[in-house]
Amino acid sequence: MKFKKTKFAALALASLLAAGSFSGCALVTNNLKKDLEQVVASVDLTKSEDYSSLKGTIKPSDVLKRDLVASYASVGSTYVNSYGMEASTVYEMLKNQLVNRQLYVQYAQAYFLDTDSTKTKSEWDKKIAEADESEKEIAALAYFLDKDEIETAEYTVKSSMNATLDSQELQYIETEEDEHDHDTARTTPNGLDTVKEGYYDPAYKIYTGYNAASDCGTYEAQEGSTPTTRMKAYKTLLSNLHYYGLVSKGEDTSDITKLAYYNSERKSQYETQLINKLGEVFEEQAKEKVREEWVKEEKYQTTLASQKEQFGGSDASALESALDGVSDTSFVLYAPDNYGFVINILLPFSSRQTQELNDSEADFGDVKGNKFVKRASLLKGLVATDQRNTWFTGHEDYSYEAGTDNAYTADNADRKYLFFEDSMKKTVGTASAPAQYEKIPNYLGQYTYNGKVFESTDEDGDKVYNFQPAKLSIEGFLSEMKGYLKYAGFSLKQVGGKAYYPNGTEDAYYAQESYYAEDGTVDYSKFLYYEAQVDFTEHFNACHIFQDGSQENRALSVINELSFAYNTDTAGLNTYLGYVVSPNNTDFVKEFEYAAQEAVRGGPGTITVAPSDYGWHIMYCTFAYSKENPTPYGNEFNWDEIEVEGTFSNLYYEALTAENFSSYSSELQTSVLNKYNNDTCVVVYEDRYKDLYEA
C-alpha cells in the first residue's frame, strides 16, 4: 500500500505521446518548444515560516506548461469530453495537482531532513554539487532514497518506455502480418504477470531496435517483433516528441536514455519513490493505531453483532446484496443456513445440439412443454474440449513445454504444454536474483493442455499451432477432475452417505422416463447426475481458503484451473468465490438452482453435476454458511494470524489498516496542502497557460 499514488501519480508522457495527439489542446504558438518550457507555477516550501531555515537547501520547483499540456492530454480531456466539465476548470484542477505534487516532494525532503539522523543539509548540498548539471535535480531526490528505491525508479521508467514502444510496435506487427481470423482470446487468470513490488533488474534496458533485445536484461520482445518493427515504433515516438517540442534539435536520438525528455521521466519516477517512501512511514504510524482490542472488540465483534441483527430476519435482500459485494476488503461474517458460493463450470451443447433441442417436440404428455427426455439423449452425446488453444496463439503466447516440471498429464505423453511460465516459475528468487513475478493466486498451474498440439513455422519463421483437443463426455471430464484432484493430494467421498450417482448408474440416468413427482411438480433431484465431496484431511477452515499452500486453497486452485480450461460460462471466470447461492427462489434456471443449492447444503468442497438447456453444469461449493456454522470465520477474531498472508485474519486486518491509513493520510495531505498551497509558497502565472482553453 502506497501513499495516495492516484493523487500524486507521475505523468506518463510516454503513453500519451505514443498516441500522437494532444486532443483538445489549443497549441497555436510559432515557437512550440519555447512556449512549452514556460513556467506556469513556481513552488517553494521554504518561503513559509515553518521551513524558512531550509531556504537554499530545498530548491524551488517549477511546473512547466509542457507538464500541464501532457496532463490534460493524458487524463484531463476525458473530464471535458465525457463529463462536460469546462476546460478552464479542468486545467485549474490539473495545475493544482501538479503544484500539490511538488509541494509534497519538498515536504518529504524536509520531513526526512528533520527525522532521519543520517540526513544532513551539508551532506545533501555536497551530493547535489558533485552531480553533473543535468543530474542535479535527480541527485536532490536520490539523496533520500536507498539503493533499491533508486534501482526501482530506474527500472520503472525503462519498463514504462518499453511498454509504450510495445504498444506502438504492435500496430506495425499487425500491419505486416497476413490478415486472418483469430479465435476470441480466452480469459486469463487475474494476477497474471504481476511484477513483485520493488522488483528491479539492473541489466534491464530499453529496446529500440537499434540494440538487441537479448541485451536488454529481462525484457521480452513481443511475438512477431523484429528490429524493423521496433525501429518504426521508436521513430514514431521520436516524431511525436519532436512535434510537441520535447526533443531539441541536435539531440542525440540514437540512445533514448540521453534525451532530456528521458531525464524528465526519470525525475518523475524518483519523485514517486520519495512520495512512496514518505507514505510507508505514515502507513506504519497508521498501523500503530490499529490495536488488538480495537480490532477484536470494536470492529469484529461490533460488525458480527450488527450483521446477525441485520441478516437474521426474513428480508433476504440486504444479505444477498452484501454477499454480491464480498471481496478481500468486504466480508460477510454471518449468514443464515444454506447461503454460500459455487464455481460453475459449464460444458455446453454444440450449436447443432442446441438447435435440435429447440426444434424437438415436448416430452410425451408434458403440458408445460418441457423436453427433459430429449435433452437427456443429447446430454449423452455432449462433447467438451479444452478451451485454452488461444493461449498459444496471437501476440501473447503463454504456452511452454513442461519438460521435467511438475505437470498433470493423465499419463498421456502427448500432453506436454503448460501456461504462464513467468508467473509459475519466476516467483521464487534468491539473494542475488530476486523473484520477478507474483504467483497467480488460486491457480495451481500444473494442468497440461488436454489434446495434441502440432507446432510448426510459417514462411516468415513464425510459430504456427494446430490443435487436436481431446473430446470429453461428462464421464471424461469427471475422470480429469478426479485425476487432477488426486494429483493435488485429494480424493472424493460421498456426501452424507448418498451415492455418487443419486439416480443410479450412468445408463439409468439417461433412461429416466419421468422427471416429475407424484403431485405433478418437477422433481429436480432427478436431474442430479453426480455428487461428491473433496475429502479434506483436516477440518475445512474457511479462514484459510485464500492462504497459498493450505488444503482449502489447493482444492480451490484445482477447480479454478479446470474452470479456466473447460468453462464456457466466461462470466464465472475470475470471480472472488463464485456465484452467490441463496436457499430461496432465484433467477437461475431451476435445474442449476437446485444443484447449486445442493452443493451449498453439502458444504465447502461439495461437487454437484446437473444439466440445463445450456449443457452440463459442474458446481463446486467454495464457501458456505450452515445452521451449525453460520459464522465460518469464527466468533472471535484471531489476532495471531494477522501476519499470515492470505488468511482471513490477515485480509481483514489489512482492510482495516488500509481504511485507517486512508483516513490518516487524507487528513495529513489536506492539512499540509491547505497550509502551504497559498500565495506565499506558490506563484501561479495564469496568463502563460490560459491560451490552452481560451478560443
State the virtual CA torsion across 443, 446, 450, 453 in degrees, nearest 10.
110
Instruction: Report which of 97, 103, 99 is spatially closest to residue 7, judged by C-alpha positions.
Output: 97
**Number of other residues whose CB lies within 10 A of the CB of residue 400:** 16
d(CA 51, CA 236): 45
Listed range (6-10, 225-229, 515-519, 565-569) with the worst mean pLDDT: 6-10
Three-class SS state of 333? coil
Q: How far, in Å, CA of 674 to CA of 434, rounded?
A: 41
For the ranges 28-37, 52-61, 273-282, 389-398, the lowest mean pLDDT is seen at: 28-37
What is the spatial distance between Cα 498 and Cα 514, in angstroms, rounded to a whole number? Answer: 21
Enumerate the domain spans of the chain. Answer: 13-176+199-286+664-692, 337-384+472-629, 389-469
* Residues 284, 266: Cα–Cα separation, whole Å: 27
Compute the C-alpha angle 691/694/695, nearest 5°: 110
Average pLDDT over residues 613-637: 96
Is pLDDT at 201 greater than 70 in this prediction?
yes
Predicted confidence at residue 71, as pLDDT, reads 80
Say if CB 155 and CB 201 are below 8 A apart. Answer: yes
In this predicted structure, the answer to whether residue 337 has a pLDDT above a threshold of 60 is yes
Nearest 5°: phi and psi at 655? -65, -45
Q: Where are the alpha helices (DSSP H) in 608-678?
A: 648-676
Element (H, E) at 330: none
Distance separating the N- and C-terminal Cα atoms of the chain: 43
Average pLDDT over every residue of 485-494: 97
**Does 395 score more than 70 pLDDT?**
no
Contacts of 208 (CB under 8 A, 6+ apart): 165, 230, 231, 234, 256
Distances (CA, A) of 458 to 172, 312, 364: 19, 64, 56
The whole-model pTM stands at 0.87
Residue 662 has pLDDT above 80, yes or no: yes
What 3-state class would DSSP assign to 384? strand
Assign 394 a pLDDT band (cuts: 50, 70, 90). Answer: low
Q: How far is CA 503 from CA 344, 525, 595, 603, 608, in A?
A: 21, 8, 14, 21, 13
Average pLDDT, the chain: 89
1 pLDDT higher than 70 = no
Q: What is the pLDDT of residue 8?
A: 37
Its sign, for the CA torsion 72, 75, 78, 84, is negative
Closest CA to 384 of 348, 359, 416: 348
Mean pLDDT of 293-298: 94
Q: What is the pLDDT of residue 364?
A: 73
**Contacts of 83 by beta carbon, 8 Å cutoff, 6+ apart:** none
Instruction: Report the distance separating Cα 544 and Cα 604, nearest Å.
Output: 12
Rounded to the nearest 10 degrees, what angle do helices 351-359 and 372-380 cross at?
Answer: 160
Mean pLDDT of 326-347: 96
Q: Are 440 and 422 in contact (CB under 8 A)?
A: no
- Distance, CA of 178 to CA of 194 (rounded, Å): 32
At 286, list the grid cell: 497508521
Q: Which of 683, 695, 678, 672 is nearest to 7 (CA)?
A: 672
Under DSSP, the state recorded for 295 is: I
Three-class SS of residue 283? helix
Neighbours of 118 (CB within 10 A): 6
Q: Residue 339 — φ and ψ, nearest 5°?
A: -95, 150
Q: How far is the C-alpha of 396 from the C-alpha of 340, rounded, in Å?
A: 36
Local structure of residue 616 (DSSP, 8 states): E
Look at the block and give the residue holding cell 454471518.
Answer: 334
Q: Are 492 and 484 in contact (CB under 8 A)?
A: no
Indicate the helix (H) or strand (E) that contains 359.
helix 351-359
Give me the residue label for grid cell 524493423: 228
Report residue 456: phi and psi, to 5°.
-145, -175
What per-residue confidence (pLDDT) applies to 45? 96
- How many Cα atoms sit within 13 Å of 452 on the Cβ side? 2
Q: Outline where 542-643 has alpha helix (H).
A: 551-566, 590-602
Distance between CA atoms of residues 195 and 327, nearest Å: 22
Checking if the pLDDT of 11 tops 70, the result is no
Euclidean distance between CA atoms 601 and 625, whole angstroms: 9
Mean pLDDT of 187-212: 93
CA–CA separation, 211 vs 234, rounded Å?
A: 12
C-alpha neighbours within 13 Å on the C-beta side of residue 440? 23
* pLDDT value of residue 296: 95
Residues 6+ apart with CB under 8 A from 683: 41, 42
Q: Is the pLDDT of residue 396 over 50?
A: yes
Question: Which whole number is the average pLDDT over 393-405?
Answer: 82
State residue 266's pLDDT score.
94
Q: Are 660 and 289 in contact (CB under 8 A)?
A: yes
Higher pLDDT, 519 or 333: 333
Is residue 676's pLDDT more than 90? yes
